[in-house]
Each structure stands twice: as structure tokens, then as C-alpha cells.
Amino acid sequence: MRMPSRFFFATVSLGLLSSFFGTAHAQIRIGVTISTTGPAAAIGAPTKNAMLLWPKVIAGQKVEYIILDDGSDVTNAVRNTRKLISEEKVDLIIGPNTTPNALAMLDVVAENATPLIALAASAAIVEPMDAKRAWVFKMPQNDSHMATILTQHMADNGIKTVAFIGFSDAYGEGWWREFSKLAEVRKLTIVSSERYARNDTSVTGQVLKMMAARPDAILIAGSATPAVLPQKTLVERGYKGRIYQTHGIGTLDFLKVGGKDVEGTLFPTGPAVVARQLPDSNPVKKVALQFTALYEAAYGANSMTQFAADAWGAYMLVANAVPQALKSARPGTREFRSALRDALENTRNLTVPQGVINMNPKDHVGLDQRARVMGKIEANKFAYAFGG
């Protein structure tokens, strides 16, 4: 495991309650566990890049960020969580990037009454709401948000039969659950359903089964670079139908590894990924463009991704909640952690790069249809297709 790195960032003063506790010097401590190595590293890299831009002061309180790499491994994610809580005494945890890791962390954060803002996608992280999920919030859109616009695009474009191949883990199963339900509503017939592991090196058997069913389109429910493998294999085997992916592909590494084989791919995505091409009427466009400019000034043109935007949204969510929590407790206490949890749950009309957040005790995502559009890959770039 890598040692934690502590760092401070450019000051952005929110000008709120800065003198409420007078001369109190306690820092807010935020722990992070993300995948900067392993199969999910392509997601973790832009996530960390965005975190390096996080401000060091929130509501007049200094903030210390402690980042750990979980290596895309469930056991490491749980170990990191325990370390951040017991040794680093954090007030809140942000991460991880993958659904299996997030699900494994639920019990630990609940047992220790520490809020978690997950950067993984599956709705299972926050649903069904129960005592342990009451401490957990999630930045990415639920699979249901994305599956709705994806199946709409399929139905509107004459797709009748679809094959499905997804990760053999919680991400793939979450997508299968939502897609199969909505496919029935849209009168799409699923003719084949296959699975593969993130670290598989061949999916030829699965691809041949799907192609034998002659589907009009194929949906690949994977994320980052492991989502390339089925598509490359389909292209190599001569598949001519439409290929859809999920919002999990939104990394520059996916484009690099996929190359010409992923050209023309259709996928649902958060609006920040295609911010410049959004209609001016889109309510998220202004905030999405602001973050895009900030991120690309640091990392170069066309470098912004879904996962960087989610990480910045997590900062905005925390910055919005901290002033409320500071009214009743000091950082470093159980009372502050509880107050933070309550403030997060009562987030209202907060516009972040990926949508507008309105949370409540039964909804710890708080996003609606303003949080997704359809994208496509053109000239090896993510482009806007429709929606929003």
C-alpha cells in the first residue's frame, strides 16, 4: 500500500461563519480512498487530479485531505477506511471509485458514524435506505438515470433487439437490473445476456454467443479500459450493429486504448463531459464550463472527464454542508460528523458540474433528469448527441 499523502490546495474562502468559533484551530480532516492503481486506475487518475484542485479552506476552517490508494481492491478499500477513521480521525470520507469497494465499506462507516460520499455509480450503494446507508451519499448518477435515456435513444432509433454483456460484479448486475426492466417498458427484446470479469483477457466466447443472436444493438456494461475488450472483439469479429456503452467509459484511457474500434460508440453521460456542446438552456452548463476551465488550465485541453467532474462535485457538496455543521459542533468530534451527515442530507438546489442536487432522507443522490445526456465518440473525443 502507498503511504498517505497530505496536501493543501489553493484557498477559496466561502466567507461564511469564518469567526463563529473565534480562535478555534481544529482542522477539518477529509479522508479519501480511490483507485490510482489496478484495473480502475483510469478512473482514479482524473479523480485524484480534480482533488488536487480542492481548496484548503472551507467556511474559514482549514482542511486537510488524506488520500490513500486502494489499488482497485475491496480488501484494501476496507483497510483504508478503517485507517482513515481510527488513525487519521477524519470527519468524512470521499471515495471509492468502484461499486464493489463502496459496498464493502458501508458497514465500517456506519459502525463509526462517519459520512461517506461515494464516487462509484451503482444505486445499491445508497438503496434501499437503511441504518447503514443513512451515512452514505453518492455523486454519480444512478444506473436508472442513465438507463432511461439510453433505452429512449434505442427505441427512438429503431432498435428492436439487444444483447447485453456486463461486468460480473455489482456494477454489471446493477446495470442488468435497470436495463432489463426498462427494455421491457420500451419494447426492446433482449436476445442474449453475458458477463465477464474486469481483468479478463478474452471474451470471444461471449461475443460469439451474442452475435449468433443477431441483435440490432449491443450494450456493454463496463467501465474504464476493461470496457474496451468486448467492443474490440465485436469489431474484430465483424459485428455491424450499434454498440452502446455506459457512463463508466468516460476516461481518456478508454479513448486511447479503444482507438478506432470505439469510434461511433453511443453512451449516456453526465453533462460536464460535453459541457461546451450543451444547449445554452441547460441549467448545468455554466457550472460545468467553470469547472472544465479550471481543470483544463491545470491538465490540458480536452482532459476533463466524468470522474473528475464527480470529484469536484463532491467538494462542492462538502463545502455546502460544512457551514451548517459548524453551527452545532467542532471538527474532530462525533457531533460534527453527525451534523455533517444531516447537512448533506438536507442539500437543496445545489448545482454541480454533473447536475442539480436535492437530497432528502430517502434519496442520498438527489439528481434528476438534468444530470444526464446522450454522448457519442467522434474523432476519438467525447461529443454531445442529445438531451438536456
- Do 312 and 296 contact (CB within 8 A), yes or no? no
pLDDT in tens, the chain (388 residues): 444 454 443 333 333 333 333 334 379 999 999 999 998 999 999 999 999 999 999 999 999 999 999 999 999 999 999 999 999 999 999 999 999 999 999 999 999 999 999 999 888 999 999 999 999 999 999 888 899 999 999 999 999 999 999 999 989 999 999 999 999 999 999 999 999 999 999 999 999 999 999 999 999 999 999 999 999 999 999 999 999 999 999 889 999 999 999 999 999 999 999 999 999 999 999 999 999 999 999 999 989 999 999 999 999 999 999 999 999 999 999 999 999 999 999 999 999 999 999 999 999 999 999 999 999 999 999 999 988 6
The pLDDT score that the predictor gives to residue 388 is 62
Least Cα distance to 176 among 206, 215, 219 occurs for: 219
Rounded Cα gap, residues 331 and 62, in angstroms? 10
Domain boundary among 241, 269, 297: 269
> Is 297 found in the same domain as 204?
no
Residues 28 and 129 reside in one and the same domain? yes
Indicate whether 200 and 265 sit together in one domain. yes
Clarify whether residues 341 and 223 are in a common domain.
no
* Same-domain pairing of 185 and 256: yes
Q: Residue 122: its pLDDT value, please?
A: 87
Domain contains 193: yes
Alpha helices in the chain (DSSP H): 41-51, 74-86, 99-111, 143-156, 170-185, 204-212, 228-236, 252-258, 285-299, 306-326, 334-345
Closest to 119 measured CA to CA, from 14, 270, 261, 243: 270
- 202: Cβ–Cβ under 8 A, 6 or more apart, which residues? 229, 233
User: How many beta carbons lie within 10 A of that of residue 27, not counting itself?
Assistant: 15
Helix (H, G, I), strand (E, B) or coil at 126: coil
388 falls within a domain: no
Please, are residues 221 and 172 in contact by the beta-carbon 8 Å criterion? yes
**The domain spanning residue 163 has which CATH number?**
3.40.50.2300
What is the C-alpha separation between 277 and 304, in angstroms, rounded? 14
Is 281 domain-assigned? Answer: no
How high is the pLDDT of residue 19?
34
For residue 120, the enclosing domain spans 5-141+288-368
283 belongs to a structural domain: no
Q: What is the DSSP letter of 189?
A: E
Q: What is the pLDDT of residue 275?
A: 95
- 53: phi then psi, degrees, rounded to nearest 5: -100, -5
* Cβ atoms within 10 Å, residue 334: 12
Q: Which of 240, 269, 298 is the last residue of a domain?
A: 269
Q: Mark whether 147 and 197 lie in a shared domain.
A: yes
In the DSSP assignment, the letter for residue 259 is G
Asked if residue 137 and residue 13 are part of one domain, the reply reads yes
- Contact between 78 and 111 (Cβ < 8 Å): no
pTM here is 0.85
DSSP state letters, 38-64: STTHHHHHHHHHHHTT--SEETTEEEE
For residues 26 and 111, membership in a common domain is answered with yes
Q: Are residues 151 and 134 in the same domain?
A: no
User: Does residue 309 lie within any of the structural domains?
Assistant: yes
CB 102 within 8 A of CB 27: no
Looking at 269, 304, 322, the residue that finishes a domain is 269
- In a shared domain, residues 115 and 147: no
Residue 276 lies in a domain: no
**Separation CA 339–CA 158 (nearest Å):** 50
Residues 284, 359, 76, 26: is their CA dihedral positive or negative? positive
Do residues 230 and 357 share a domain?
Answer: no
How many structural domains are present in the chain? 2
Residues 6+ apart with CB under 8 A from 227: 220, 245, 246, 248, 249, 254
The four Cα atoms 357, 359, 363, 367 give a dihedral, to 10 degrees, of: -10
| Residue 282: inside a domain | no
Same domain, 106 and 62: yes
Round to whole Å and give the CA distance between 277 and 288: 11
Residue 279 lies inside a defined structural domain of this protein: no
